[in-house]
Each structure stands twice: as structure tokens, then as C-alpha cells.
Amino acid sequence: MLMFQRSTYYYQSVADEQAALRIRIRDLAQARVSYGYRRIHVVLEREGWKVNHKRVYRLYKQEGLTMRTKRPRRHVTACRREELPAAQSPDESWSMDFMNDELFNGQRIRLLTLVDNFTRESLAIEVDRSIGGQRVVEVLMHIARERCLPKTIRVDNGPEFTSKRLDQWAYLNGVELDFIRPGKPTDNAFIESFNGRFRQECLNENWFLSLEDAREKVEEWRLYYNKERPHGALGNLPPREFALSGEVVS
């Protein structure tokens, strides 16, 4: 016969279930599908949560979460993404992306494009043979000298945008990097639309003899796009004129 109280059969734990922390970990894992528990722990610490990585790992596993180790195919949804509200003012939300092209001799070049999601202005088009995370930060810092930084910057999951250097810069400047779902470029529709027009009207129409020639022609088109080219979504106003008018996008 076992000599212990019958009440022990009905013991219920009184430990804190960490419901709020569980919810936050789940939200981060769904929003940042490439984040494992260690990176989620770093984000939680930045947000003020007093929790060590062991507890984060335990709750991460109990919630059945796992980092996606294989990049999904384009027809597979990596996570359910709610439709984001449209920007209501300039410098509220920006979008960034990369493009590729060639010089006349077949040498490849990279182009970093950046637009304001409300005014549709082209904030910068950086052209070089290669552009890493540090270079992306330098472009953003240059733009910040002339206008306010946004609340969010929508980007894909490329290595330049997931770099520690850009992540650190965003944290220090209070900017949220809004990563789209892998294989879902339509989540970043504004920059995809801009890139299509840019390729059709500039890259496909010009023959670049050198890197400097490419930079000059690209910047000439960018200024034309901002100041003169009518934009259908803005009532056929150029982006710069629309930004100065203070109108609301319909």
C-alpha cells in the first residue's frame, strides 16, 4: 500500500503558464518565418522581456514552432499574412528591392531601388557591381539627411536585407523591417510595380557603356520619374507634385 495522501492524485501545477510570452513568441515566429528561437530571444530582449534563451526555447518547442530550413517554392505559402493598411502619409512606409542588369560588355551590375509607398517617389536607385548590407545602410543614412525615416521598410528575405548590419541600424533608428513571405513578391507590390516601369522605360531602353554611364542615365530617369512622369495611381500627377499637393491616394 502506498502511504501518501489521496489529494496528491489531483495536484495541479500553479506555475505561471507564460501566456503573454507564448503569444508574442508565436506572433514573431509567424511574422519572421526565417527566425529561430535564438533570434526571437534577441527580439524579445529588445522589447523589454526579462527572459533567458532557455525559456524561449522551451516555449518555442511547446508551441510546435520550427524554423523553415528550406526555402519554399513559389506556389507554397510560407505563412498567412494579413493585408497591411495602406500608408496614409509620406515617409510612413518605404519599400526596397534589388534588380540586376548588364553593361555593354556583359558585366553584371546590381541596382538597389527604394520608393515611398504613399507618394510613390523614387527615393534612390543605387548602382554598383555589388551592393552589400553595409552599402544599403549608407544609402538609407544619406536619404535620412534630407527627409524623415519611415516607421517601416518593406523588404524581401535577401541576404542584404537580413544582414546584422541593417538589422542593427533599423533597431537603433526605430525602423521596423517588414519582411514579405518568401516567394511572394506581390506582398511588396509598390516596389515591384516601380521596378517593372524602371526596367521597361530605362534599363531596356539604354546601352550602358560603363558603370558611371549607367549611374548617370539611371539618375536622369529617376529625376524624370519623380518630377515629370504622370502616375496613374496619383491622378496622373508626377510623384513629386503629388507629394507637394498633400492629396490623399484614392
Q: H helices within the chain, ranges in order?
A: 19-31, 37-46, 53-62, 133-144, 164-172, 189-201, 211-227, 239-245
Q: pLDDT tens, position by position, for the chain (250 residues)?
A: 556 666 655 556 555 668 888 888 888 887 766 678 887 888 788 788 888 989 889 888 888 887 655 554 544 433 444 556 677 899 999 999 999 999 999 999 999 999 999 999 999 999 999 999 999 999 999 999 999 999 999 999 889 998 999 999 999 999 999 988 877 777 888 999 999 999 988 999 899 999 999 999 999 999 999 998 888 888 878 899 999 987 655 4
DSSP string, 36-71: -HHHHHHHHHHTT----HHHHHHHHHHTT-----SP
For the segment 215-238, what is each residue's pLDDT rounded down to a tens digit? 999 999 999 999 988 888 888 788
What predicted TM-score, i.e. pTM, was given to this entire model? 0.67
Which residues does 110 contact at the CB level (< 8 Å), separation at least 6?
A: 98, 99, 100, 127, 128, 129, 130, 131
Q: What are the grid coordinates assigned to 222, written together?
A: 529617376
The residue length of the chain stands at: 250
